[in-house]
Amino acid sequence: MASMISTKTNLFRYASRSLFSHLLRNPTPTSSLLSPSLSRHLSHQPRQVEKQVYGNGSLMLHQRFLSSTDNHDKSPPPPNKPPSDSNSSNSDSDSGQGKESGGEQKQNSDYQKSLRGSPVAWLSFVFLILTGGGLVYYYDKEKKRHIEDIQNVSEAVKQGPSAGKAAIGGPFELTNHHGKRVTDKDFMGKWTLMYFGFTHCPDICPEELQKLVAAVDKIKEKSGIETVPVFISVDPERDTVEQVAEYVKEFHPKLIGLTGSPDEIKSVARAYRVYYMKTAEEDSDYLVDHSIVIYLMAPDMGFVKFFGKNNDVDSLADGVIKEIKPYIK
């Protein structure tokens, strides 16, 4: 391209010189093409005698240059080359790449917008909401069901069996805290509240016995019904008659303490479905794991109902009164 421009420039210079030389030699034919002042100025210049062929050849060369220049300007650019120079081609290329990248970004943006607004996206959102709502509903339902089960079990423990008669109770022979041998027949004709424990119990047994004797007084106060509180040891090795006597007098004067040999304690515990077991020993000091239940026995020493640890003094007293009143009527 640069060589072409240089060639055209040289041809233009040569043609210009030839044109001015021709005008100087022949001012008349070309004076109409010039301004009057320039035409007068050129007419006073001395003419140089040259061959007419040179002037005609210069004019023809000038015409050829002008014609080739016009044709070149009007001719279309080559199919494989852009019509501009290298800088313009680079800029066009960069602008083309920019337009292409811009087009891709616009296409991606349009695609994302179409996805956000498409039915598939809305269906996914709705499905997510329904799934989350279903999980929350299922969790709440299971939680309520679990709470109801716990409440039902607690109510069953609190109220005891509502129908039929459990095979709890039976004959026994033990020693009371006064050292006297007694049997189940000695408690007939009275409403009896029985609790199984041991004197070395650190906290549970004292709490349950305090609740038991307080309920006995409240039952007497509310209904006038006499009940007998009874404590039976499940630790025959340490709970001697003397030990039981010292223990029961700390709670209530009506509380009766019973103990016996290991076989006798095992027999009465089996009859009343009481669980007990010694725990790990350390220097002859041990604890006894056992059932925490208060049994209500009728005047014929038949089982009526049991009350669990979750009952307080008032609920225990009211429960006992509720069970006894039908028998009195």
Q: Binding site for Cu cation: residue ranges?
A: 201, 205, 290
Question: DSSP string of 15-78?
Answer: HHHHHHHHHHH-HHHHHTTS-HHHHHHHHTSPPP---HHHHHHHHHHHHHHHHHHHHHHHSPPP
User: What's the 3-state SS for 81-134?
Assistant: CCCCCHHHHHHHHHHHHHHHHHHHHHHHHHHHHHHHCCHHHHHHHHHHHHHHHH
Secondary structure element (H or E) that encloses residue 79, with its range: none
Which residue positions form the known binding site? 201, 205, 290
Assess contact for 215 and 320: CB atoms under 8 A: yes
